[in-house]
Amino acid sequence: MKIGTDIILIERIEKLVKKYDTQFKQRFLSAKEIEMARKTESIAGLWAAKEAIAKALGCGIGAELSFLDIVITKDRKGAPSFTLSQEAQKIHQIKDSSLSISHDGGFAIAIAVITH
């Protein structure tokens, strides 16, 4: 089992959204994630979640895993989970995972737990 965490200042994401809007969002979010994340806090939470997942996988965002290889969804109760692209899943072979995302006090934080 591996754990990854990430925290980000929501204001940092807000500045990027204001400056680049859709172009920024499309660099790290799928179309469904863009629809799901309407508030800046939610966008920051998705950023933190993808970073936390990459850290839990031990590779970071780069050659083995891109932001777009990770797709975050929410169940009907609002609990987040994620899947990897087929190519990334072949590399990382996740057996089980858990994801938590929260925001408060100007920060968004995420924790990912992954079993290989």
List pLDDT tens digits, range 25-41.
999 999 999 999 999 99
Indicate which residue of 25, 50, 55, 92 is catalytic.
55
Distance (Å, whole) CA 49 – CA 54: 9
Return the domain boundaries, the chain: 2-115
55 tagged catalytic: yes
Question: How confident is the model at residue 66, as a pLDDT?
Answer: 97
Cβ neighbours, 10 Å, residue 58: 13
Q: Write down the pTM of the prediction.
A: 0.96
103 tagged catalytic: yes
Distance (Å, whole) CA 8 – CA 53: 14
**Rg of the chain, C-alpha, whole Å:** 13
DSSP string, 53-116: HHHHHTS-SSSS--GGGEEEEE-TT--EEEEE-HHHHHHH---EEEEEEEEETTEEEEEEEEE-
Confidence label for 45 from pLDDT (cuts 50, 70 and 90): very high
Confidence label for 53 from pLDDT (cuts 50, 70 and 90): very high
CATH class of 2-115: alpha beta
* DSSP designation for 25: H
Indicate which residue of 25, 50, 92, 103 is catalytic.
103
